[in-house]
Chains A and B, each alone.
Chain A
Amino acid sequence: MPHPQLRSNGELKHLLTIEGLPGVLIHQILDTAKGFLGVNTRDVKKVPLLRGKSVFNLFFENSTRTRTTFEIAATRLSADVVNLNINTSSAAKGESLLDTIDNLVAMHADMFVVRHASSGAPFLIAEHVNRTRGDGVHVINAGDGRHAHPTQGLLDMYTIRHFKKDFTQLSVAIVGDVLHSRVARSDIHALTTLGVPEVRVIAPLTLLPSGLDQMGCQVYTDMKKGLKDVDVIIMLRLQSERMRGALLPSAQEYFKHYGLTQEKLALAKPDAIVMHPGPMNRGVEIESAVADGPQAVILDQVTFGIAVRMAVMSLLVANP
């Protein structure tokens, strides 16, 4: 079965996951993003690449931050942007997901940016528009359940490449709730594809999914051992509901053992960078002194994120 995000000639039609993307394609997206970085600092922050195109932000799950970054990216490419918070509109009236999509396609949407609480939902949408609309409509996964958040993964790779240059010499640690994290899965696929020799995952066993070794990761339950001599630390957000369901006893105990403090950061390489997909829980997974410290590149990630999303959107539309 062909991958639903690729055309038969291998070009990217939708961006649904990083898993299976060739390394050259990832680098092409990052190179394109580098070109867009300049646009964002100009007086007139606009290029006409998506002029006349309609981008629909379909958010079945609340997210102000991600939706805003996609909106900014689309607007800077001169697209018309429509924001739909579906959990407050159609779904509440009982309309099915694919009926919603059919209606929006009938309004001549060119691109859907989809956030959904269910893993795989953007695949269902992409396969549906492939079947009903041929090649004209693009889907970008803006986060589906625990499965993937490919634009976050790409902006994380942009950030790492910006500060560290060569992926093939790096040791990267991902710390926290990997079980529920789509960011972690996308980062792991991207890092292994780009040739990072050591991807470490650090968490208590209650927050780790099965099969991490098959994804190319080494598992550490002791953060102090896991952070030893790493070049990059990616901290994950801990949702407060994880204290329910017997996954964790308390935020305090979590912070004590898996929160990033200056003391623990000192175990990594002296020039290690600290990343976080945001929004941060200060005092739960990361200490303010680290979050605001010289090694944190968390705000750079946000800046790069706009350029990376512009790159993805323009590349999809450039493959009509």
Chain B
Amino acid sequence: MRISLLGGRLVGPVLADGQGLVLHDAITDLYLADGRIAAIGQKPAEFQADLTLDLSAYCIAPGLVDLAARLREPGFEYKATLESEMQAALEGGITSLSCPPDTDPPLDEPGLVEMLKHRARGLQAASLYPLGAMTVGLKGEIITEMAELSEAGCIGFGHAGPMFTDTQVLLRAMQYAKSFGYTLWIQPCDFFLSRGGVAHSGAVAGRLGLSGIPAMAETVALHTIFELMRATGARVHLCRMSSSAGLELLKKAREDGLAVTADVAVHHLHLIDIDIGYFDPNMRVDPPFRSQRDRDALRAALKSGVIDAICSDHTPLDDDEKQLPFAEAAAGASGLELLLPLTLKWADESGVGLSEAVDRLTRQPAAVLGIDAGVIAQGAVADLCVFDPGDRWTVNATSLCSQGKHTPYWGRELIGRNRLTIVAGRIVVNHACLNPSFI
């Protein structure tokens, strides 16, 4: 199938002939053939389109790359299924995604990973890049067969929840991962300092009588991680940065030349502990929403590049886990379909250009994953996200495709939404208002 995409505003990283990689932002035509991008701008000679779309009302970006989406398989199919969440990803314009190993059983055996990859391929949806478990059963005791898991398709190795308590196991995991060149994905959070906590330690938690998770749970963990990285030379991706003090340490570590990357969950760019309001369980996330100062530091760090990428940290939960008193409610929020609009909101409020914002959802996370995606280039696989940056929509049961309906943005209006998704040259989601003309 050959498709001409005409008149759209092409935004984000583009590898153009003779110019190298640029952050592009201009009306540019795209021509797709055989699942790949045949040409950018100039129509190739003898190109005969089967389908021509007038995208003059839309922006075209590389398909989004999400670093953290829980798909709940295997083990938690009652919360969400691979089908429902992979479809939600496509609805959100996400064409590549990574899933953490916190399934049941955890992704600690090659067979489980192969099955998951097989199921995902069968859906012909987004490309799935599973993270393997760093330790058997995510227990923090025995390191997994990382090489086997890698062959089965794991792109890195992570854990779930706070960092395990045995520092020697972490040291060994880093040494082992370094031997093979694997990346460890770690959420910097000290187990003991965060134990029992449900909200950011501060005036809000003090007043509401909620037990706190201090910012130092992050900084103490970061000190440990960086020290072990210095000793081992291991490469680490830090998941879900949350505090201003943690970002200072990250900045220093980058300046020191450590092989470290980092992401932030998109809702942490907007919400703070005060938003807990009257104990709203939808505001319970991990790590917790911190102070306004921390939120502002996260926004600035993303702008300056101290943080590489934005992720959805998608966590579909059911009513039984969420309609509970704040401290008893499960942590997490649905995010696949909010990733783009909440990123656009950050860009708009922070004076960041559209193409730069898109870069943090595409090329940058793809670089963290080490995959060939997230850039529009001649000959590249045609994974595209076509969005309307001005579309106003309300987050509710009908607008969200994910089986998890719990998000801090429930009932709120957002601006900007993915309208058309193309995976390997196939249109898989189409809500765009257009008059296709067959030639």
Contact = CB atoms under 8 A, between A and B. Distances in A.
B320 A96 contact: yes
Interface stretch (A41-49, A141-149, A280-288): A141-149
Interface string B308-329: 0000000000001001111110
Contacts of B257: none
A211 B207 CA distance: 7
B305 interface: no
A210 B216 CA distance: 14
A185 interface: yes
Nearest to A1: B277
B329 to A, nearest CB: 9
A148 B210 CA distance: 11
Q: Please indicate which of the listed interface residues B208, B210, B211, B323 has the most CB atoms of chain A within 10 Å of its own CB.
A: B208
Contacts of B278: 1, 3-4, 120, 123, 127
A97 interface: yes
Given A127-B278, A185-B207, A210 B212 contact: yes
B319 to A, nearest CB: 9
A309 interface: no
Which DSSP category, helix, strand, loop or mixed, fits chain A's interface?
Answer: loop
Given A4-B278, A120-B278, A124-B279, A145 B205 contact: no
A147 B201 CA distance: 15
Interface in B75-103: none
Interface in B272-326: 277-279, 281, 320, 323-326
Given A4-B278, A97-B324, A119 B209 contact: yes
Q: Please indicate which of the listed interface residues B206, B324, B327 has the most CB atoms of chain A within 10 Å of its own CB.
A: B206
B203 interface: yes
A209 interface: yes
Nearest to A3: B278
B204 interface: yes
B233 interface: no
Given A123-B279, A127-B278, A209 B325 contact: no
B209 A210 contact: no
Interface residues of B, number: 23
A147 B198 CA distance: 14
A119 B281 CA distance: 12
A144 B325 CA distance: 10
A251 B325 CA distance: 32
B204 A120 contact: no
Interface in A114-153: 116, 118-121, 123-124, 127, 144-148
Contacts of A146: 209-211
Interface string A25-37: 0000000000000
A147 B209 contact: yes
Nearest to B200: A210
Contact of A210 (B201, B326, B328): B201
Interface in B188-215: 201-212
Q: Which 6 A-B pairs have the closest CB atoms?
A: A211-B203, A120-B279, A146-B209, A147-B209, A209-B206, A118-B325
